[in-house]
Amino acid sequence: MEFNESKTKENLARAFAGLCQDGARYQFIAKSAFSEGYAYISDLMVRFAKNKMAHASTLYRTMIDKINKSKDNVKIEAGYPFEDHILKTSLLDSAEIEEYQSKNVYPHFAKIAKDEGFLDIEKYFSLIAKVGEENSLKLRFLADKFENKSLYKREQKTKWICSNCGHSEESKQAWETCPLCNYPKGYVVIAKDTKTK
Ligand SMILES: [Fe+2]
């Protein structure tokens, strides 16, 4: 099928717009997290935002390579989430958004791309879905720990690492202030439990 007549062209534009919105939302959450004292979560959200923009960049380049050279805008009709970005709710909201996108939106787009014969775009949609699934699990884990006020506590001894200086200790609970750099607990790396998928 000719790309400019395809549904995949529209889906590519919808995905690009959605990824830009995701990237913006993660940057907003990063700011909230930092202002609330969760520097490591803030860094993680910045990384997620960068990931989204990298995905957006790949799709943008793909569009540029395939689209006809007329300057007509690509028209899309799509819905995008506008969730609050306070940390208390945004971790779970984002987990649900990532899960919905990775289980529904991108697999649907990938199937259409395959049916229309755009296997390179099918691959991109599938790979983006895979990253989204991982993000969803990480965000759900953080949301759960945040809700239970157990971000920095574990039942078993755990290796805690300071994201500022690299200091690490094994204990059931992270330090209040890093003994090496004196940065607060918010800089501690919150690793997923080994039992958590
Ligand atoms: Fe430190």
Under the banding of pLDDT at 50, 70 and 90, the label for residue 194 is low
Q: How many CA atoms lie within 13 A of 64 on its CB side?
A: 6
pLDDT digit string, tens, across residues 32-67: 999 999 999 999 999 999 999 999 999 999 999 998
How far apart are the CA of 139 and the centre of ligand 1, in A? 24
The domain locations on the chain are 3-147, 153-187
Domain 153-187 matching CATH 3.40.50.720: the answer reads no
Are the C-beta atoms of residues 39 and 163 closer than 8 Å to each other? yes
How far apart are the CA of 184 and the centre of ligand 1, in A? 8
How far apart are the CA of 149 and the centre of ligand 1, in A? 22
How far apart are the CA of 191 and the centre of ligand 1, in A? 16
Question: Got the DSSP string for 40-76?
Answer: HHHHHHHHHHHHHHHHHHHHHHHHHHHS-SS-PPPP-
CATH of 3-147, one of 3.40.50.1820, 1.10.275.10, 3.30.420.40, 1.20.1260.10: 1.20.1260.10
Q: Taking the model in full, what pTM does it have?
A: 0.92
Give the residue carrying structure tokens 């800089």.
187
